[in-house]
Amino acid sequence: MTDTTSTAPHVLVAGAGPGGLTLARVLQRHDIAVTVLERETDIATRDQGGTLDMQRDSGQIALDAAGLLEEFLRISRPEGQDMRMLALDGTVLLDERAAPGETFNPEIDRGDLRTLLLGSLGPGTVRWGARLDHVEHRDDGRLDAVLDGAPDGASDGDRITADLVVGADGARSRVRPLLSDAMPSYAGVTFVELRVTPSAFPGLDDLVGRGSMSARATGRALFCQRLADGSARVYAGFRRERGWAAAHGLGSTGGVLDDPAAARAVLLDAFGDAAPELRELIVRCDDRIIDRPLEMLPVGHRWEPVPGITLIGDAAHLMSPFSGQGANSAMLDAADLAREIAATPDDLVAAVARYEATMFPRAEANAAAAAQGLERFFSAAAAADPVAAFAEVAAAVAAAAEGDRARRG
């Protein structure tokens, strides 16, 4: 059993994603004890996915609070801000290139961001292979986090005592049920994730460019992101019932479709009217094809305060990716919460209340913009004029950011 006998608060964070690691980093800059639980066994356990744009009004604010903004700007990819929009027949509708040195929302691979954040933490901050099972309130007002599958050979049931438990553990948060009965629901759109390398598809540079590319029709779209290694993550998105894969005879293990050839055939049928070069993204992708149904919490999700417990990021406000605010919001949540804890470390109830008062309206505005984006991006109007649809959603995201700036002063 791990205990903290100091009068200074001890914060326990469930989840070592961008939000949880940012929270730990900013807390350590304020000399506040923090432990992060992560069920993955090490940093290399799982592919971290595609790329993120770090927004100036959110993610970059958090990185500045973490003392990592300069290093982020050094390793980020401003060229990742390039954006191409195509019709599904291949007609180029928009081809924008970022100006040299532009830092409004430079890109960084998720894995590189995680490495940056992990490298900034004190030794032993993250307990790998540790999964939170449940939290118990103690008679002294503190909390015991009981682990399921403790690290380093420790037996199940190992406990860590903390003054504050923060759920940064994503869509299936084990902390959220302590605050809310809300559960994520299917958003009606599925992404199928593919990976394409330049060696497999020499036309990748011409088609996707240095940043992102999208091509859409009513109810269907292809979204591409270039990564630092030159590969591209491709997301084939479409409106389908959640069990679409099984309905086509496709089995899966942990979301990875078991028969890549059959999966390609289904996707090629779904995008049968796409330009040949767009279909090549499906033909030439790697065999690891992942079914990713989009989920979301109710827009405006809130809870009544419970002493010693709060949430950040997807655990608090899971939304579709169509506002570009998922990781950015999680990191800004983390920076705000750490700032409030540092301001009144002897009154965590007040600190959490101030944080939640800032986070709730921001999360609601961003989630509303994301829901709007999902509807707009798969609509007939977006297929007819994707540039206008993108501008409409971007305006909603900008309005949400402006509202947050006003509240933050």
What is the residue-wise DSSP string for 108-130?
EEHHHHHHHHHHTSPTT-EEET-
Q: How far apart are CA 147 and CA 153, in angstroms?
A: 12
pLDDT of residue 150: 47
Phi/psi for 223 (5° steps) reads: -120, 135
pLDDT of residue 149: 56
Q: Is 149 helix (H, G, I), strand (E, B) or coil?
A: coil
C-alpha separations of 48 from 39, 110, 130, 172, 398 in Å: 14, 6, 18, 17, 27
Q: In terms of Cα–Cα distance, which of 257, 317, 280, 230 is closest to 51?
A: 230
Q: How far apart are CA 118 and CA 292, in angstroms?
A: 26
pLDDT of residue 75: 92
Tokens of 114: 């995680």
Q: Read out DSSP for 321-385? A: GGGS-HHHHHHHHHHHHHHHHHH-TT-HHHHHHHHHHHHHHHHHHHHHHHHHHHHHHTSHHHHH-
Q: Could you tell me the mean pLDDT of each successive run of 10 residues in the chain, 409 residues long?
A: 62 97 99 96 74 92 98 92 93 89 84 96 95 92 84 62 97 96 96 97 95 91 94 95 91 95 97 96 97 96 97 97 90 98 97 98 94 86 79 81 79
Q: In terms of Cα–Cα distance, which of 264, 315, 335, 271 is closest to 54?
A: 335
Domains of the chain: 10-182+298-408 (3.50.50.60), 188-295 (3.30.9.30)
- One-letter identity of residue 60: Q
- pLDDT tens for 113-129 read 999 999 999 999 999 99
Hunting for tokens 């779904």 — which residue is that? 270
